[in-house]
Amino acid sequence: MDILQQISDNLQRGDDDKVFALTKQAIENNLPPKSILDDGLIAGMAVVGKKFKAHEIFLPDVLLAAKAMYAGMDQLKPLLIKEGIPAIGKIVVGTVQGDLHDIGKNLVAIMLKGAGFEIIDLGNDVSPEKFVDAALTNEASVIGLSALLTTTMPVMKKVVDLVKERNLSDKIKVIVGGAPLTDDYAHEIGADAYGFDGMNAVDKVKMLMELN
Amino acid sequence: MENVLESIAEGEILLSDGAMGTMLIDYGIELDQCFEAINLTHPDVLENIARSYCEAGSDIVQCNTFGASPMKLSMYSLEDKYAEINETAVKAARKAVGDKAVVAASMGPCGRLLKPFGDADTENVFDSFKKQAEVVINSGVDMILVETMTDIEEAKIAVKAAKSVSDNIPVGATMTFDSTPRGFFTIMGNDIKTAVKELENAGADIVGSNCGNGIEVMINIAREFKKFATKPIIIQPNAGLPEMVGGKPTYNESPQFMAEKAKQFLDIGVSIIGGCCGTTPAHIKALRQMINSYKEK
């Protein structure tokens, strides 16, 4: 079987050792790093994302697949940088101030990484200033906000307001997501987009980047 | 009141209480932080909540200890205060209800994923739940309810930890399920059959579900539990799913709606019913009336 297909299959099974070894082998065989990424790792994660959405697999499977994805990606990253191949975009993500729930945010970050984006993960309990500063420092064009608690949802508006206050609305778009969120709420606080789930967030972020 | 398991064995249908978290929000306490930190500063609020549920007709009232395992508290750097936080919660509930209701300690998730999916070691999670169980049992709690679990492994650890402190303490364990086109599953992918079997094997005396759904979905979940359970069943639904109204979460299922639907729990053979997020003393009062008239039939 094609080595890239094998990478994709083993990634879907969450076998990080095999993905590590196969990626290493593919690099040694002089396959272009970009195609190992796109046709191996990203292709595998796309299947994982689809199956997760269809409830065919669950969170543990996604987390193991992500581990396998990193086992391959960590080897490719220096090569991609050397060849001057940029990530398709940079996104700052985090759970808003006062909220310590990061499973949802991590899941979205996995899906975004799996789609080829570079992720700057600020963790949880992140202040509005820290989100905006990190986006500027890293030249990220999108900020992704997560909240699980209905009590911390209002903090999302503070981030949106801060982006406007600093006149950064043209440069930085804000996408929000999390269990209690709705499209209406995102609209109400002036966010640029709402990601219903990890896969949907990927589509929306791609849309936002085209706008920029 | 006598031991809950004996009451259930005698055919009693027991009424638990309603929400704690959303009640605390209504008491006006700022809640972007630790829900259990208020045990240290406002035990009077806990007493008021327990009293209102008891007066509304609850046979069981739960203490504000959901997130009070040392591991969960460590996220707020409050782990050193775990003993005081748990003890105050149990004593406040007891002070409010005396022997008019069973006092139950709630034990919620540790907030971390177990290895290999996360970084938490089984031994540390067990140790954390055991420490919490020791304090609530020594403080005189009548039963323990392991709640809102989504990972069967963690739920089992919590049940075993509680039982390791005392064989005699009744332990209930409930998990939160999502309704999918393929059936009911927790976020971690556990189905109801697995949950029942594994929880009963781990030593749970009562099994069931709480949170995540309004009453109509919970009725289907209860049916599924009944297919597999050999132990009594407990079901605690939300008052619907939250909708944001003017920046505040609101739950739309009324006490009357819930009580009318909840008759089906009794038809199915659920032993303990109660409420989770968004339910209030008014919901409990309506459920009390429904149970009383159901018994007379």
Q: What CATH class has B4-292?
A: alpha beta
The residues with which B232 forms a beta bridge, in sequence order, are none
Place of tokens 């998990």: B175
CA distance B297 to chain A (A): 41
Q: Which CATH superfamily is domain A90-211 in?
A: Cobalamin-binding domain (3.40.50.280)
Place of tokens 């605390």: B24
Query: Which residue in chain A has the smallest CA separation from B118?
Result: A63
Q: Could you say which residues from 84 to 113 on chain B have a Cβ atom under 8 Å away from some Cβ of chain A?
A: 111, 113
Using a CB-CB distance cutoff of 8 angstroms, which residues of chain B are in contact with residue A63? Answer: 113, 117-118
How many Å apart are CA A8 and CA B97, to the nearest integer? 59
Q: Could you say which residues from 253 to 292 on chain B have a Cβ atom under 8 Å away from some Cβ of chain A?
A: none
- H-run or E-run covering B180: strand B178-180
Q: What is the pLDDT of residues B195-209, one digit of tens each?
A: 999 999 999 999 999
Angle, vertex CA B116, rays to CA B110 and CA B117, nearest 5? 60
Q: What CATH class has A3-82?
A: mainly alpha
Place of tokens 């829900």: B35
How many Å apart are CA B114 and CA B215, to the nearest integer? 30
C-alpha dihedral, B208 to B134 to B168 to B56, nearest 10°: -50
Whether B103 contacts B94, CB under 8 Å:
yes
When CB atoms are compared, the residue of B75, B181, B242 closest to A180 is: B242
Taking the alpha carbons of B76, B80, B82, B87 in that order, is the dihedral positive or negative? negative
How many Å apart are CA A21 and CA B37, to the nearest integer? 48
Q: What is the pLDDT of residues A32-76, one digit of tens each?
A: 999 999 999 999 999 999 999 889 999 999 999 999 999 999 999
User: What is the separation, in whole angstroms, between the first and last Cα of chain A?
Assistant: 40
Residue B247's pLDDT is: 64
Residue A43's pLDDT is: 95
Q: CB–CB of A59 and B249 under 8 A?
A: no
Domain boundaries, chain B: 4-292
Angle, vertex CA A101, rays to CA A96 and CA A102, nearest 5? 85
Average pLDDT of the residues in B68-96: 97
Q: What is the pLDDT of residues A148-162, one digit of tens each?
A: 877 788 889 999 999
Whether B195 contacts B183, CB under 8 Å:
no
Q: What is the pLDDT of residues A106-165, one digit of tens each?
A: 999 999 999 999 999 999 889 999 999 999 999 999 999 998 877 788 889 999 999 999
Domain boundaries, chain A: 3-82, 90-211
The residues with which A146 forms a beta bridge, in sequence order, are A95, A177
Please give the share of chain B, as a percent, with pLDDT higher than 70.
97
**Cα–Cα distance list, B24 to A58, B30, B147, B280 (Å):** 33, 9, 18, 11
Q: What is the pLDDT of residues B28-49, one digit of tens each?
A: 766 556 889 999 999 999 999 9
ipTM: 0.82
**Cα–Cα distance list, A53 to A94, A111, A200, B35, B107 (Å):** 22, 11, 10, 32, 30
Using a CB-CB distance cutoff of 8 angstroms, which residues of chain B are in contact with residue A55? Answer: 180-182, 185
CA distance B117 to chain A (A): 6
Q: Which long-range contacts (CB under 8 A, 24 or more apart) does A126-129 make?
A: A126/A94, A126/A95, A126/A96, A126/A97, A127/A97, A128/A97, A128/A155, A128/A158, A128/A159, A128/A161, A128/A162, A129/A162
Residue B48 CA, chain-centre distance (Å), reads: 19
- Torsion-angle region of A84 (φ positive above 0: left; ψ -120 to 50: alpha; else: beta): left
Average pLDDT of the residues in A79-98: 91
